[in-house]
Chains A and B, each alone.
Chain A
Amino acid sequence: MSYDVATVRKDFPILSRRIHGKPLAFLDSAASAQKPRAVIDAVSELYSAHYANVHRGVYQLSLESTEMLESVRDKAAAFLGVRDRREIVFTSNATEAINLVAYSYGRRHVGPGDEVLVTHMEHHANFVPWQVLCEERGAVLRVAPIDDRGVLLLDEFEKLLSPRTRIAAVTHVSNVLGTVNPVREIARMCRAHGVPLLVDGAQAVPHQRVDVGALGCDFYVFAGHKVFGPSGVGVLWGRAALLEAMPPFLTGGSMIESVTLSGTTFAAIPQRFEAGTPDIASIVGLGAALDYVQQIGLDAISAHERELLAYAESRLAEVPGLRILGNAPHKAAVISLVMDDVHPHDLGTILDREGVAVRTGHHCAQPLMERFDVPATARASLALYNDRSDVDALVAALHVAREVFA
């Protein structure tokens, strides 16, 4: 059966909005995705009928909320191909998940003269925590280079794995270039050097099937809001053996085993890493989102986006003076645009007036902007609900921009 994007679009109430009198062409899912009715309803249903704090009360509502939340741990585990549900830790977003590893694992294992390896295409979320860690510990941050197409130079990456490398952190999919990194290959190299690998999957999981076991990494993180769930929840997957050996990141309620005036012992994983009341509703909403994308099928979503990306690239080639940043052979549906004589910020304003929502700016990837010698780009990102009319609206709006700046 072919992918029925019209039906998918009906699941997202916001897509019927008009912006400045024009139909909304939402092309900023890489920043945050829109929410299907199923997610909105799940959050509403929790608050309307089941809500209480989790992991605490013996009363019925607390049990229901706890069950609903814990069932999402199972869903997240299945979503990533994980068998051991204790390996799934809920955080508030992907940034916090990376910080958890940088603080807990990093501060225990990275010392003076040690090295941490990242790539030149990281989002600040997978760059700054490691930079700060290295500065604090007197360690060295190594940055694997990329080529002009935005492809990671694997040979260079491997050369940078040294006996002093304590951890490597790599994005699965670049939020600016769309590059899909060869994570299996990277994981194989890291394993051969005894280096644990963290993969930032924020831009991958909304668009492709992910099996962390098959990838061979050691930590994997993603954000709920980018996979059509609510904001306020992120997921960290870590190998149980690693997580069990890690000290807590945040401390306080929910994460303890026993507290006395003289000391505290900590709960087992994953609770050890879940201090305080979590964002219960967002976690429940994430569960609905994971159900939703799996119901449509991630392989079908990938195929739809690949087809749409090809269409977009051919249509965008018609626009004079337009350049696409990032031309990796294996590329996700993220299109960073640079137009001659038109600053991305101006482009963003003009596109908005045409109902086209794109992200403009440095995309939290300033080292990458510097690498390509541009201050900013206008980024159109596609998701499961986008169709050719969105692309057509983008192309038409780009022509308007050319006219304004003619």
Chain B
Amino acid sequence: MKKNLMTVLAALMAVSLTACGGASANTTASSAAASETSAGAASSSAASSSDAANLTIWSPTDKESVENWWTEKIGEWNAANPDIQVTREAIDRSDSYAYDNKVATAVTSSSLPDIFFVDGPQVSYYAANGIIVPLDDYFTADDLKDFVPSTVAQCTYDGKIYAMSATESSVAFYYNKDMLREAGVDVDDLDSRTVDNPITWSEMRDIAEKCTTADHVGTHIIMDHGEGLPYALEPMYISNGKDYINDSGDTAEGYVNSDEAVKTSAFLAQLIADGYANIEPITDEFLNKACATMLGGSWDVSVLSENADFDWGVTYYPVSDATKKAVSPCGDWSAAISKDCKDTAAAGKFLQWLMNTDNVATYAAAIAKPATRNSSYETEAMAEYKNYPLSLMVEQLNNTASPRPRTPSYASFSTKYAEAMTNIFSAAASDHKVDEAYIKEQLDSVAADFTEDYNTYYAK
């Protein structure tokens, strides 16, 4: 009986192991079948598809127009390149860190796709850990001249290009003209601002104060409680004199916890403490008329254009009263080749094509974000970026954009900073006042955690 039991258990084990091992074989078979279908089932095509490089791409699931773009473009590529067949998997982003978690688990099991999309500031993190490979062979210095400088900077680590993005992003100050007029704010003045003369923090605060009523708050500063915080708020810190981390990406001490950073955080927290901004903003708070102004993304232009039933405008990112230095956020998801890619030459060739002028333009139009290539703005797909309000985003990208810190410890920093700012805002909302000592304590903790992470894993 024991012998029989062991036989059955061994058989079951063998079956389950076969099932695991068989997955890749099945995938290969099905993808071969798929490429055969797309090639029209000709015998020569079938022969070439068996020798074809099969590339897989991961990118976050997006709205219908973007999903359709991918389907169309991959079909176009596969038809024209029987030797390099591409499949895309849309990965649910879910919230600000879920996609990164998926990548992290794939790293531990060495099952990364050939190409995957990475959020801008994570490029350094993945590059420093050898998860993605340099792309200098596929994007020459001449190619890079056509890309906006902030994109090239964000995708560069240790002097090498590790990723390339088709789209950029920016954040600006949106305002509901109806609400502002009702509150007695000079809307024409806001409309007339230029990149050299943006509103200051105190002006932003005055507008928020005037516009706060029982029905809505004056402004909106919390994009989300994850990466949205360091992304949207970093220009405030730089404008006030100190970035989160130094230029070489190895020191946060004296930066994120500097006096300037404490003052910047205190300014933001005061907006919460005074009730001018919600600590728990609802989704689409500005669109739903629950706030009169907001620090909103460039992607909000299309949302508002399609859905807003009120008169709205947008002006440049506010600057510190002390320095008047104009800075704006930037960065978007970029494509990178993973360390697990078996045919980097094929992946590089595909990326070159993916990032050509037309593809960048049509992708940027589909996802409603500014394109990274200057030449793309000359295409019909990007025509509307020549006019306000989208032209304002492009103007910011070319003049005031500053990429997020390029440091291998960014993942750790982002989490800790978001946590600290949530704590600071929560304390301000609960106590209706701002405690700078508490802010300093929280930011000290961010600096200490950054230092520990950097020293543990990356310091030479």
Do A and B truly interact? Answer: no
